[in-house]
Homo-oligomer: A and B are copies of this chain.
Amino acid sequence: MTEQLVAVFAALGDDTRWSILLALGEGDASASALAERLPVTRQAIAKHLAVLEQVGVVDSHRVGRELRWSVLGSRLGDTARELDRIGAEWDRRLAAIKRIAEGL
């Protein structure tokens, strides 16, 4: 779980992926539909969605013959809470921090 933290940050550290998340914020959409709104190809979007899915920020479900993707805001909330916890404890120099992030 916490070992995934760094992977989540890495996934969120890309502009194109944020533009995808942004677009999905206005409603679920397929990779093809997203490709029509964004300046990248469908294949590139598909790769990004795979990355986002891997860290659990995004989810897919079939509708007819297309794959619709949706954002899991709760996952972002979870990540935020973890980060906040780490930041708070850092200032207090707690040894617990080490335990949390050492699952690498």
Q: Nearest 9 pairs between A and B by C-beta?
A: A76-B87, A10-B13, A73-B90, A80-B84, A73-B91, A80-B83, A77-B87, A9-B13, A9-B12
Number of copies of this chain that the complex holds: 2
Give the distance to chain B from A47, nearest Cβ to Cβ, in Å.
16
Binding site for B on A (CB under 8 A): 2, 6-7, 9-15, 18-19, 21-22, 25-27, 70-71, 73-77, 79-84, 86-91, 93-94, 97-98, 101-102, 104
Do B14 and A6 touch (CB < 8 A)?
A: yes
Do B90 and A76 touch (CB < 8 A)?
A: yes
Give the distance to chain B from A75, nearest Cβ to Cβ, in Å.
7
Query: For the complex, would chain A's binding face be called helix, strand, loop or mixed by DSSP majority?
Result: helix
